[in-house]
C-alpha cells in the first residue's frame, strides 16, 4: 500500500497506478466517503480525517521534525513529531503509530489520545488547503530515532523556550500552532508541570 507520494504510485505487479485515498468526514467526524489525496487538498479543500502526534523525551522536550524537501505539501518546514492521514477504515490511533514508525523509525510508547481539532489552513506556498478533522496523540520517544530521509529532513528536541525561539526564526507548518494548542492539556498531563508546556 502506498505511503508517501502525493498522488499515485506504480504497483510492481500490475504496472497500474493506485490512488491514495483519504477518508472524508462531516463536522462531527463521521465518515462520508473518500477522495484522492491531492484532490482533497485542492482549494477550497475537502474536510478529511487526519492525525497529529506529539512525542516527548524523558526530559519533557518535544520532538519536532523538519519535513523533507521532496514532499509535495509544506516541504522543508518544521512541524510536530508526525502527522498524516489514516487510510479509509484505519483507526487514527493505528495510523499514528504506523506513520511515526515509518517516518522516524521509532515506536511511540505511552501513546494516548489527546482529543480532536477541526481547522481550515491554506498553505500560502503551495496553494493547497488543509481542511482537516484532526485526531491528536501524545506519547514518549524512548528509543534512538532512525528517520526516513524521504520523509524527514531533520529532527530536534526542544523545550518550550527553545520552541518559541525556533518558531520566531524558522518556518513552521500552517497547522502547527493550532494542533499544539489543542493538545496542550494532554501534553501537560504527560510531561508534568516542570516541563513548562
The three cell numbers of residue 166 are 525556533
CA dihedral 130, 70, 4, 109 (to 10 degrees): -80
End-to-end distance of the chain based on CA atoms, in angstroms?
A: 37
Question: Residues 23, 82, 83, 130: which is the catalytic one?
Answer: 83
Strands 129-140 and 109-122, sheet pairing: antiparallel
23 counts as catalytic: no
Q: How many CA atoms lie within 13 A of 25 on its CB side?
A: 23
Cell output for 147 = 528517520
For the question of residue 83 being annotated catalytic, the response is yes
Of 62, 76, 65, 68, the closest CA to residue 155 belongs to 65
Q: Which of 103, 130, 132, 151 is catalytic?
A: 132
d(CA 23, CA 3): 15
Cell of 56: 516527548
Query: Rounded distance, CA 114 to CA 112, Å?
Result: 6
H or E stretch covering 167: helix 160-169
Residues with active-site annotation: 83, 132
Amino acid at each position: 500500500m502506498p505511503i508517501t507520494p502525493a498522488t499515485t504510485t506504480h504497483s510492481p505487479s500490475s504496472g497500474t497506478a493506485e490512488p491514495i485515498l483519504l477518508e472524508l468526514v462531516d463536522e462531527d467526524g463521521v465518515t462520508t466517503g473518500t477522495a484522492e489525496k491531492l484532490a482533497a487538498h485542492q482549494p477550497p479543500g475537502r474536510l478529511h480525517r487526519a492525525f497529529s502526534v506529539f512525542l516527548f523525551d524523558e526530559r519533557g522536550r518535544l520532538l519536532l521534525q523538519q519535513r523533507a524537501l521532496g514532499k509535495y505539501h509544506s516541504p522543508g518546514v518544521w512541524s510536530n513529531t508526525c502527522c498524516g492521514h489514516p487510510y479509509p477504515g484505519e483507526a487514527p490511533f493505528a495510523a499514528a503509530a504506523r506513520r511515526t514508525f515509518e517516518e522516524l523509525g521509532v515506536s511511540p510508547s505511552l501513546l494516548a489520545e489527546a482529543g480532536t481539532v477541526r481547522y481550515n489552513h491554506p498553505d500560502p506556498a503551495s496553494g493547497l488547503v488543509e481542511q482537516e478533522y484532526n485526531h491528536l496523540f501524545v506519547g514518549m520517544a524512548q528509543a534512538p530515532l532512525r528517520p526516513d530521509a524521504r520523509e524527514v529532513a531533520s529532527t530536534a528536541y526542544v523545550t518550550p523556550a527553545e520552541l518559541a525561539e525556533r518558531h520566531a526564526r524558522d518556518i513552521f507548518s500552517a497547522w502547527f500552532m493550532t494542533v499544539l494548542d489543542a493538545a496542550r492539556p494532554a501534553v501537560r498531563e504527560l510531561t508534568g508541570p516542570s516541563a513548562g508546556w
